[in-house]
Structure 1
């Protein structure tokens, strides 16, 4: 049994290569399309990946590392600077980040156990079992944790594997299941809560489920959230708000903000009688460029988004 070393801690440990499914750097490069030089740079300069090492110093990557490489590549292709990706991944993939360095973390271990049950149900296309697991997770964790730390990471993992045979069917199965459950929760809350906020996403800036989950995070307390269909024309948002009279309009985006975004948002804000807020990964990335404007940033984490929305509506949080 070969001896491997955690790069960050320098602690050696014996492990079966077959059990751990570890891959050399040349194989990771083949699987992801990212060349070895870039992989090493992401590790050395930014600490985005932390592979194991053999006694002779050769890097070995787990399946979790490979999924992380694919996530990094996706953000790079969307125009996000590599230096900013670590902060995004720490929020969107908390269960994956350095999971093999801290194996004794009981919380992450419990997340992983539930994720394996979800994956097993999805793999068997077993909607009855998936419904059971879904309900059981809610008995252990609050809603933000259920979606942000357990379900959505599995959804993203399957999304990245659509190129594999059967991968698209598995992702569609889970995506359809989760969308229907989130919509049910949103409708239930909207019927009971009088204060209304509207949320929408520019075309191509997120998947429908990501928008729905963001709406669910925001629909806490006395706030009801209405979700506009993806494809809603940006230039007609002012008309929608004029007629619907919401308390706030939330734009949700997981894309890197383009240079003209602050100007477009400011122009939209001037045409609205309600607050204009930005949420999702773009919110964190655009926060500095929007400082001093009337556009508020909600962030991309469930509890933070909900708290900031309440503060903006109460007038206790300024932009």
Structure 2
């Protein structure tokens, strides 16, 4: 147990701030000596250190950090209580991750487990916690997209059911579309349309690129997968599209996709393409100069060259 002077030295927070956080947000509950002086446990010290990091290093406000900390501690107590009541139950969920040690890998593992068990509320809570702790691009790149790749691979190998794959994919795709809606559009920016052509259903790389464009302030009409030509032409004309973003992984659909690009150029000679996916990146076609890799650093260079000037 530590007195408040020692805690101040250990965590680097002034005593008046510790008392304010304690009284206003209830982040710690120190004991009292016989003389009425506060005494803090090792857990209290750890909690205060974690809160300080969120405020100083991640720019989180204290009320938000305190809410996350209390939520996680409550989840840990609830889970511990359930495990104590049923110590030998099969498939008992693991303890909720400690928010102070919630790395991308730990968050990814915990979230995956909740999703394949259809635990909607817990999954949403973990996702919300991740977005509060990390930049949203990091959450997509290091947590949500790896889960989507994993669930797709495990569905193809028969390790998970169609229902599990659909539930997980729908939950996580909703987060993409939420950010597509709320990120502000800059009226002076050119507009883009993004889609996977007919026969193509792999959209993860394209979703990440659309998220990048939306962060930059571009309006992007996202058409999704298996998109036929007529609908694309209508969008280009009606929305005055400047950039057409296409992703293709299946080589079997490459010739049809190249024919689609030719039709677009015939109708709109000034259009600019952005092409991604393994089918396009193989080269040997007239549009190789428009291929962009999946490296976000390359996206930044492309944007500066093609849009930002």
**In which range does the TM-score fall when normalised by the shorter chain?**
0.5 to 0.7
The one of 172, 188, 213 equivalent to 2:182 is 188
SS in structure 2 at match of 1:300: coil
Structure 2 distance, partners of 1:238, 1:192, is 23
Change (3 A) 1:313 1:283: farther
Tell me, yes or no, if the aligned pair for 1:159 and 1:168 is still in contact at 8 Å.
no
For the residue of structure 2 that corresponds to 1:222, the secondary structure is: coil
* Counterparts of 1:170 and 1:312, CA distance in 2: 40
Provide closer, same or farther for how the CA distance between residues 297 and 123 of structure 1 changes in structure 2, counting only shifts above 3 A. Answer: same
Q: Helix, strand or coil for the counterpart of 2:176? A: helix
Query: Greater relative contact order (Cα 8 A, min sep 6): structure 1 or 2?
Result: 1
- Is 1:265–2:261 an aligned residue pair? yes
Name the SS of the counterpart of 2:200 in structure 1.
coil
Which residues of structure 2 form unaligned runs of 5+?
1-101
Q: Is the 1:278–1:296 contact (alpha carbons within 8 Å) kept by the matching residues of 2?
A: yes
Question: 1:276–1:244: structure 2 CA closer, same or farther, 3 Å change rule?
Answer: same
Cα drift, residue 204 of structure 1 = 2.7
Q: 1:122 to 1:264 in 2, by over 3 A?
A: closer
Larger CA deviation: 124-133 vs 303-312 = 303-312
TM-score (norm. length: structure 1): 0.54
The TM-score, its normalising length taken from structure 2, stands at 0.56
Q: In structure 1, how many angstroms separate the alpha carbons of the residues matched to 2:186 and 2:165?
A: 32
Between 247-256 and 160-169, report the one with greater CA deviation. 160-169
The answer (yes or no) to whether the contact 1:175–1:209 under 8 Å persists in 2 is: no
Which residue of 274, 280, 287 maps to 2:271? 274
For 1:89-168, list aligned pairs within 5 A: 110-162=103-155, 164=158, 166-168=160-162
| Equivalent residues of 1:122, 1:174 under 8 A apart | yes
CA distance in 2, matches of 1:296, 1:206: 21
Q: What's the CA shift for 1:154?
A: 1.6
Q: Number of aligned pairs?
A: 203
